[in-house]
């Protein structure tokens, strides 16, 4: 039996529900669709599922703009469907995590609709309302992640309100204890339904310590480069001084942790956090101090343009310098916000397209050999690549639409999963169209066929995860040696009291090898 809690070395399968499986023929994935594919997930050998938001939402940011945190958006089903899903998840031996969005809600949430009416209503200070400067301009120089100012004007109050993302995603004022109490109720609502943990979205963007709303400083190290980051004005600023990573966030973290500990079964809290360049590990360490979140979701392997072998070594080394011996960090190579690793990592690692599948398997083995937990994004187990030929009139991501054609946004990694290449729409739906186009190039890697093929990425990764569960060095401790190896290698040892395991990832041969070595051997 593992000496670690389940989440300290878990492999977590991320589902973007809109694109996983449609069960009611509307071209949009849903909860019952997920339930129908649980055997596929369980047979892969993962430990848990994380589902991106499925709450009631106008879908301006596809679920990350929540208008009711305690109900299911009708497109995805009902609370009854969710209860059935979690029951089935537990029956197949998995755990279920859901995605809570604490920093902002939808502009159509009743909280905001009331707050924006006047300066005197009961929810008047539930959001960040600030008077204009004497010349009528915004209170400061803060910018939105998605482009433009982080402030929008509300004529009824004659004030600006803060939104770190879209104007339809107003930031909640976490300095108000009533906000924290509402989120405490939300946590209990889902824990009472049996949820095993939360992935907490963009926790570092919670605001509450903002007055007097100081300007962000310019980043002296800014270098003009490609979108989405280097050419976007947001990334010309330093944010940790004023706009992001404010102390009030930890009041939220401590309150959620206290609630999680009221429940049996090791309920898990994983926060998505980030910081200015060079500060990410310090931010992660602060968020996962005792009494706060259990772990943080690490962005360092998710660089939009990919990482070289040297940069991978640096990212891993920075992480183990802070977190070696703990399960307080979660690694990922892909998610719903960045290009897929099977495409993104080819050029920086110098891998030819004919070795793309070998590279994808190698990356999966690497991330699940590191300390802490791992998130695997739907389709990584198939080696799905990015989809870059979506026409503008079919695009959905507001970020991509705003910056088209130079930047394609996040639709490229969100196209629907394909399950059977012989079926219309790849078996994703029986409808004649889907919310995003089905990628024809994905059909040869349809999930059900790959799951039956022991030589596919799915088959090889499944065998690897079965083997991993038998390795004491990976299951009984979170200890790594320093990272070494030549220019095209990443080598480290995983160590427990019972085993030392040499892990070698060769990016020349595009192959991983594992060798048990005697204790005392370097």
What are the start-end ranges of the H helices in 439-487?
447-452, 457-468, 472-475
User: Structural domain boundaries of the chain?
Assistant: 6-105+177-206+246-468, 479-517
**E-state strands within 52-148:** 55-56, 68-72, 95-100, 129-130
* Structure confidence by residue, pLDDT tens digits, 146-156: 889 999 999 99
User: Rounded to two decimals, what is the model's pTM?
Assistant: 0.97
Pick left, alpha or beta for residue 352 (phi over 0 → left; psi -120 to 50 → alpha; otherwise beta): beta
* 262: annotated active-site residue: yes
Average pLDDT over residues 122-141: 98
Catalytic annotation, pick one of 113, 131, 262, 515: 262
Q: What's the rounded mean pLDDT across residues 168-193?
A: 97
Q: How far apart are CA 278 and CA 38, in angstroms?
A: 39
Q: Which two tokens stand for residue 321?
A: 């310098």
pLDDT by residue (tens digit) across 109-123?
999 999 999 999 999
pLDDT at 321: 96
Distances (CA, A) of 309 to 265, 319, 335, 380, 495: 39, 15, 20, 20, 23
Structure token pair of residue 177: 């204890």
**Under 8 Å between Cβ of 104 and 144:** no
pLDDT at position 193 is 98
Could you tell me the pLDDT band of residue 232, with boundaries at 50, 70 and 90? confident
Q: Report the pLDDT averaged over residues 239-265.
A: 94
Mean pLDDT of the chain: 95
H helices within 144-238, ranges in order? 177-192
Contact call for residues 298 and 316 (beta carbons, < 8 A): no
Residue-wise pLDDT tens digits, 288-315: 999 999 999 989 999 999 999 999 999 9
- What is the three-class DSSP state of 259? helix
Whole-angstrom distance, CA of residue 257 vs CA of residue 268: 9
Where is mean pLDDT largest: 217-221, 229-233, 384-388? Answer: 384-388
pLDDT tens-digit map of 454-489? 999 999 999 999 999 999 999 999 999 999 999 999
In contact, 372 and 478? CB cutoff 8 Å: yes
Residue 165: pLDDT over 80: yes
81-95, 230-244, 271-285: which has the highest mean pLDDT?
81-95
Is the pLDDT reported for residue 226 higher than 80?
no
- Helix, strand, coil percentages (3-state) for the chain, rounded to 5, are 30, 15, 50
For strand 197-200 and strand 268-272, is the pairing parallel, antiparallel, or unpaired?
parallel
Helices in 336-392 by DSSP H: which ranges? 341-344, 346-349, 356-367
Determine the pLDDT at residue 520.
61
Q: What is the CA radius of gyration of the chain?
A: 23
Do 20 and 37 form a contact (C-beta atoms < 8 A)? yes
Residue 2 confidence (pLDDT): 54
222 pLDDT higher than 90: no
pLDDT over threshold 80, residue 522:
no
- Is residue 1 very low, low, confident or very high in pLDDT (cuts 50, 70, 90)? very low
Q: Torsion over CA of 208, 213, 217 and 222, rounded to 10 degrees?
A: 60
The residue annotated as part of the active site, out of 8, 81, 196, 201, is 201
User: Which architecture does CATH list for 6-105+177-206+246-468?
Assistant: Alpha-Beta Barrel (3.20)
Q: What is the C-alpha separation between 123 and 116, in angstroms, rounded?
A: 9
Q: What is the maximum alpha-carbon separation in the chain?
A: 72
pLDDT in tens, 327-377: 999 999 999 999 999 999 999 999 999 999 999 999 999 999 999 999 999
Mean pLDDT calculated for residue range 219-224:
87
Q: What's the confidence (pLDDT) of residue 228?
A: 72
Structure token pair of residue 522: 């370097």
Question: Which range, of 101-105, 121-125, 178-182, 277-281, averages the lowest pLDDT?
Answer: 277-281
pLDDT at 134: 97
pLDDT over 90 percentage in the chain: 90
pLDDT in tens, 312-327: 999 999 999 999 999 9
Q: pLDDT value at position 44?
A: 98
């Amino acid at each position: 039996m593992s000496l670690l809690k389940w989440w300290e070395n878990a492999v977590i399968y991320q589902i973007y529900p809109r694109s996983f499986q449609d069960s009611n023929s509307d071209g949009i994935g849903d909860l019952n669709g997920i339930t129908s594919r649980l055997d596929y997930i369980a047979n892969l050998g993962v430990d848990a599922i994380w589902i991106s938001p499925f709450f009631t939402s106008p879908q301006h940011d596809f679920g990350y703009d929540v208008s009711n945190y305690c109900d299911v958006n009708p497109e995805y089903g009902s609370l009854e469907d969710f209860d059935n899903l979690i029951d089935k998840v537990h029956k197949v031996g998995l755990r279920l995590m859901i995605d809570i969005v604490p920093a902002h809600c939808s502009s159509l949430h009743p909280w905001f609709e009331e707050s924006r009416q006047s300066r005197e209503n009961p929810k008047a200070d539930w959001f960040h309302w600030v008077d204009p400067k004497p010349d009528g301009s915004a209170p400061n120089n803060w910018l939105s992640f998605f482009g433009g100012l982080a402030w929008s004007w509300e004529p009824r109050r004659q004030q600006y309100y803060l939104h770190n993302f879209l104007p339809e995603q107003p930031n909640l004022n976490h300095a108000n204890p009533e906000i924290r109490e509402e989120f405490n109720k939300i946590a209990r609502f889902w824990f009472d339904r049996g949820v095993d943990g939360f992935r907490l979205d963009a926790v570092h963007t919670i605001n509450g310590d903002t007055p007097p709303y100081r300007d962000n400083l310019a980043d002296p190290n800014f270098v003009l480069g490609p979108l989405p980051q280097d050419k976007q004005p947001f990334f010309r600023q330093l944010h940790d001084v004023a706009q992001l990573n404010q102390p009030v966030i930890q009041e939220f973290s401590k309150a959620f942790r206290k609630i999680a500990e009221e429940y049996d079964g090791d309920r898990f809290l994983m926060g998505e956090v980030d910081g200015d360049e060079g500060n990410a590990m310090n931010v992660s360490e602060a968020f996962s101090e005792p009494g706060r979140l259990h772990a943080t979701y690490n962005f360092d392997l998710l660089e939009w343009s990919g990482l070289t072998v040297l940069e991978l070594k640096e990212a891993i080394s920075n992480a183990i310098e802070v977190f070696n011996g703990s399960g307080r960090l979660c690694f990922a190579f892909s998610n719903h916000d960045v290009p897929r690793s099977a495409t993104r990592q080819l050029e920086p690692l110098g891998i030819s397209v004919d070795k793309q599948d070998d590279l994808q398997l190698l990356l999966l083995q690497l991330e699940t050999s590191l300390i802490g937990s791992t998130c695997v994004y739907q389709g990584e187990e198939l080696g799905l690549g990015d989809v870059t030929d979506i026409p503008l009139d079919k695009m959905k991501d507001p970020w991509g639409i705003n910056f088209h054609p130079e930047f394609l946004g996040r639709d490229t990694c969100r196209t629907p999963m394909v399950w059977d290449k012989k079926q219309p729409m790849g078996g994703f739906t029986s409808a004649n169209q889907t919310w995003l186009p089905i990628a024809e190039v994905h059909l040869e890697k349809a999930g059900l066929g790959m799951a039956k093929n022991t030589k596919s990425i799915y088959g090889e990764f499944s065998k690897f995860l079965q083997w991993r569960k038998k390795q004491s060095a990976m299951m009984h401790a979170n200890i790594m040696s320093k990272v070494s190896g030549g220019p095209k290698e990443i080598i480290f040892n995983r160590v427990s009291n019972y085993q030392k395991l040499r892990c070698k990832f060769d990016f020349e041969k595009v192959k991983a090898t594992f060798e048990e070595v005697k204790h005392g051997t370097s």
